[in-house]
Amino acid sequence: MVASRDIIAADQASVDLVNAQEGIVGTLLESGFGKGEDKFRALNKVDWSAQLIHGEKLGLGTLEYDLIEVH
């Protein structure tokens, strides 16, 4: 779960966390989608980052974040 008062940072952190994971066996991401690969772009063939960049330009938040793990 990602929580933030900054919606752009929360979305960017979520994408980064998903892309940092290995693909899951039995899904469309099981082969060829290793750690660090852009899974959203590969599956949907869209530039998802454009909306986050635009949101940052509109002043909705920032792409920069500090990830703090809570246990």
pLDDT of residue 65: 97
The count of domains in the chain is 1
Q: Roughly what angle, to the nearest 10 degrees, separates helices 7-19 and 49-57?
A: 160
- Please report which confidence band the pLDDT of residue 6 belongs to, taking 50, 70 and 90 as the band edges: very high
Residue 69 lies in a domain: no
Q: Which domain holds residue 16?
A: 7-57
pLDDT at position 32, please?
66
> Could you give phi then psi for residue 10, rounded to 5 degrees?
-65, -45
> Is the residue at 38 inside a domain?
yes
Q: How far is CA 62 from CA 17, 24, 37, in A?
A: 17, 30, 22
Is residue 29 over pLDDT 80? no
CA distance 67 to 71: 13
Distance CA 27, CA 49 (A): 23
Q: What is the pLDDT of residues 32-68, one digit of tens each?
A: 678 888 888 888 888 999 999 999 999 999 999 999 9
